[in-house]
Structure 1
Amino acid sequence: MNVQFSSLADVKKELLGMDDRDVIKTTQWPLYEILAHCAQTIEYSMTGYPQMKPKIVRNTIGRMVIKKFLKQGYMKHNLTAHVPGAAKIEKQGTVREGNALLLKAINDFEEYKGPLAPHLIFGELSKEEYDRYFTMHIADHFSELQLAS
Structure 2
Amino acid sequence: MSDIDLAFKRLEGLDLSAIESRGDWGLGRMFSHLAQGVEFSMHGYPVQKPKLFQATVGTLAFKVFSAKGKMSHGLNEPIPGEVVAEISASEGLGRLWSSLETFRDFEGPMQPHFAYGGLSKTQFGKAHLLHIENHLEEVG
- TM (norm. structure 2) is 0.92
Distance 1:126 1:29, change over 3 A: same
Shifted more, 131-140 versus 18-27: the winner is 18-27
Which of 98, 101, 106 is equivalent to 2:100?
106
Letter of the 2:45 partner, please give it: Y
What secondary structure does 2:75 align onto?
A: coil
Identity of aligned residues (%): 32
Whether 2:38 is the aligned partner of 1:42: answer: yes
Whether 2:122 is the aligned partner of 1:128: answer: yes
Which structure is larger by alpha-carbon Rg, 1 or 2? 1
Q: Deviations along 1:16-59, whole A, 9 cap, x unmatched?
A: 33246424242221001111100000000011000000111111
Contact 1:19 1:96 (8 Å CA) reproduced: no
Structure 2: give runs of 5+ residues left out of the alignment: none
Stretches of 4+ aligned residues off by more than 6 angstroms: none
Structure 1: give runs of 5+ residues left out of the alignment: 1-5
Paired residue for 1:83? 79
Contact 2:20 2:26 (8 Å CA) reproduced: no
Whether 2:76 is the aligned partner of 1:92: answer: no
What secondary structure does 2:13 align onto?
A: helix
Q: Deviations along 1:83-123, whole A, 9 cap, x unmatched?
A: 1122222x321x22111101001000000000000000000
User: Equivalents in 2 of 1:118, 1:25: separation in Å?
Assistant: 30
Q: What number of residue pairs does the alignment pair up? A: 139
